[in-house]
Amino acid sequence: MTTFQDYTLKPFLKEAIGRLGFTEPTPIQKEMMPLILKGTSAIGQSHTGTGKTHSFLIPILQRIDETRDEVQAVICTPTRELGTQLFNELQKLTEGTDISSRLLIGGTDKQRAIGRLKTQPQIVIGTPGRLKDLVNEQALLVHKADILVVDEADLAFDMGFIEEIDQVAGRMRENLEMYVFSATIPEKLKPFLKKYMESPIHIKMGDKKPVAEGLDFYLVPVRGKSKTNRLVEVMNAINPYLAIIFTNTKQTAESVAKELSQQGIRVGQIHGNLPPRERTKVMKQVRDLEFQYIVATDLAARGIDIPGISHVINYEIPEDLEFFIHRVGRTARAGMKGLAITLYNPEDEDALVRVEKMGIPFEQKDVKDGEFTDLKERHSRKKRPKTQNEADLKADSLVRKPNKVKPGYKKKMSYEKEQIKKRERRVNRKK
């Protein structure tokens, strides 16, 4: 099968796919869609930006029985933003149908959600904590649901949500179909997978191409300057449609955003310290192109689809280097070009070497007068052969190891060589 039209899909799905402009499935979609259509539990492992979302939404919608007014599929996502994004994509696909769905995420009115669940939806998208609470209160009835999707499973594990997902899964059918999507499969996640998935098919994509084509990587040294001032120099050298500046912590994101604002630069912020209402407001402002720059933590690196990102700036190198791939994957999407710029200090060298081993081809750059200039490759000093100056050569030629050695001869030779070197340096200075 080479196009979406080759699949046996309901007419409304073919129409929706056409409206979205999709023609040929991505590699992960080609592998996962047939498995979900057949009801075969599977793990889909691929990097961000590969089309994972539609690889499960399309086949799940194909299988929904519109005559059954009960929960048939539960889609669990680790963050509110990811949940909202998934729900928006689901709405695009179900436009004009009677398929009912509900978004159940933290930061929203729980009692209102319980009231709306008097009529059970056919598809539920939610965050682990909110789903667990509603299931435990018997407001959300999942005991007849056939399908559980765990999206961004490694992020859910990192954020400590696997126990909540386990409680939801435990209330679902005994012969539950589970579909797990993740960029990586940590060893500690495997017991959870084994509990619900008996010999699942493991689809692993994109090992050879960790990043998209059309993406360039600039490496810019801070060189003892204020890091934020260096960031501003980089910002002055680009004219982004939209740039996202990544930091490692919420505190650093707030600090950088404040310093940039003090310099007259208007920036948005996306991180965990923002109240839910503020985060929703910022995401809307971003989509309305009210900002040219966003300062964010890695919350925005995993799956949140912010359209039009032309540049990614790593203010800090992530502690978990896998996130480097997620960050730069925000740009150069859908065949567009992109530029990822990383600021670094000498102490970042070990991390940079490991990132290079992941397949990232850095170009060493400096910024002068609002333009990028080439720098020598940063390993060149290490690779340069050691050379001896004339004083060293003369000292080596005049001081020889004696035929008969006595205790302390090495110390005596070293002293004599040092005296010759000093004498030669004095002579050279007079010249």
**Domain chopping of the chain, boundaries:** 4-204, 215-382, 390-425
Q: What is the pLDDT of residue 386?
A: 44
pLDDT at 289 over 90: no
pLDDT at 366 over 60: yes
pLDDT in tens, 228-274: 999 999 999 998 999 999 999 999 999 999 999 999 999 999 887 77
Structure confidence at residue 405 as a pLDDT band (50, 70, 90): low
Q: Reading across the β-sheet that carries 215-221, which strands appear in turn?
A: 267-270, 293-296, 243-246, 311-314, 338-344, 215-221, 363-368, 371-374
pLDDT at 381 over 50: no
Q: Does the domain at residues 215-382 carry the CATH identifier 3.40.50.300?
A: yes
Q: What is the pLDDT of residue 304?
A: 63
pLDDT at 126 over 90: yes
pLDDT at 388 over 60: no
pLDDT in tens, 173-199: 988 999 999 877 878 888 989 999 988
Q: What is the pLDDT of residue 81?
A: 81
d(CA 372, CA 344): 16
Please state which CATH class domain 4-204 belongs to: alpha beta
User: What is the percentage of the chain residues whose pLDDT exceeds 90?
Assistant: 51
Q: What is the pLDDT of residue 172?
A: 95
pLDDT in tens, 335-349: 678 999 999 999 998
Structure confidence at residue 48 as a pLDDT band (50, 70, 90): low
The stretch 59-70 carries a mean pLDDT of: 96
pTM of the model: 0.63
